[in-house]
Amino acid sequence: MAAREPGAHAEGAERRDIGEATLEQFRADVTRLAREFLTGPPLPLFQEMRRVRTRMYAALDKQLWPRDQAELYLLLGALHALMANAAQDLGYANAAEELLRARWVYAQGIDHRPLMGFLRGALSSVAYWDARPGHARDLAFNGVSYLPHGPGAAHLHLLSARAAARLGDVEAVRRGVQAGRAAAERPHTDDLHDEIGGEFACSPAYQASLADAALAEVPETERAAVPLLQRALSLYADAPAAERSYGTEAMTRVNLSRLHIRLGDLDAVDLDRCSRYRPTSGSTRSSTCLRASITNWRHRATEATRQRPRFATASRRSAAKPSSTTCANSLREVEQVPRLTPGRCAGVR
């Protein structure tokens, strides 16, 4: 009797209610959604993600082999990370944070360290855009402990640099940017960042954009950030259309314009290009910041004009930069930039 029990148990363990074709379809769905997320609108994609998630939940309730369950946990963790990013793009930061924290269990349960690192980075991004830079920095640092090498690690270092810039910690910004560059050069591949890719990848263009945005926020390094932001835009322009993150590219261009304004170089501001981007919850915040930068510049210019001695010569006035014509044209052009409500840029992490 006892000798028959192992055989009966083996029969149950051998049963498998889903096949390879189902798992391959789930992986293909998550890969497609991760790549479409770079350029597609978040709401329809979020709805499609929910449909895929429902099918995955149904599969988890069936008899599975251990490796099948581990695969589903990875795909569900990745899918929920995408859903959290979409929720954040749509303005639901609390829902995004809840999704990320709840799905940490999937990554932890299968000890998938690249997924754990990515989830920490995604939480860091939520905290950053929610005006919690200290918490954002700590989460990014914690993520590096799970993912120390490769582009994914570079992403985490650069997120910490961006948060440090908001905190005004110049040395931490420099350290983070340098650490990000070093991590990107160390060889590393995994099934999340490289095989699924898309939103989970960290392209050279995105790395450059994130690093330069951090440097641009610090007065001591902002002038050096101009050519670096221009290089990031060139990398986006050279990338295949399907791999260009719309939101990050838009934010990079607007950040460059804001930087030109802060440096007083209005002739270099390309407001026409900035206004071509369709409004998203992310380009909205960028455009609002751009308008604020020009308003602040106008206020400073007006105060400087009031304080100028009345006996200033015409030659000195004509030599002042920027010119009155440039100011008038730029201020008229900025009215074409959409007035947008606060938000964050789709695809910007």
| CA dist., res. 186 & res. 28, Å (int) | 28
If one counts every other C-beta atom within 10 angstroms of the C-beta of residue 316, the result is: 11
What integer pLDDT is reported at residue 75 of this predicted model? 96
Q: What is the pTM of this model?
A: 0.77
Digitized pLDDT (tens) for each residue of the chain, 349 residues in all: 555 555 544 555 556 678 899 999 999 999 999 999 988 889 999 999 999 999 999 999 999 999 999 999 999 999 999 999 999 989 899 999 999 998 898 899 999 999 999 999 999 999 999 999 999 999 999 999 999 999 999 999 999 999 999 999 999 999 999 999 999 999 999 999 999 999 999 888 889 889 988 988 888 888 888 888 888 888 888 888 777 777 788 888 888 888 888 888 877 777 666 555 554 444 444 444 545 545 554 444 445 444 444 433 333 333 334 444 444 444 444 444 433 333 344 445 6
- Selection from 240, 238, 183, 241 nearest residue 210 by Cα: 183
Q: Are 68 and 18 in contact (CB under 8 A)?
A: yes
Residue 129: how many other CB atoms lie within 10 Å:
21
CA angle (53 as vertex; 48, 58 as ends), nearest 5: 135
Tokens standing for 87?
Answer: 């929720």
Neighbours of 33 (CB within 10 A): 23
For 189, the token pair is: 């591949």
Torsion of CA 223, 225, 231, 237, to 10 degrees: -110
CA distances from 33 to 68, 83, 254 (A): 21, 10, 27
Which one, of 32, 22, 42, 8, lies nearest residue 279 by Cα? 42
Q: Give the C-alpha separation, 131 to 181, whole Å.
A: 26
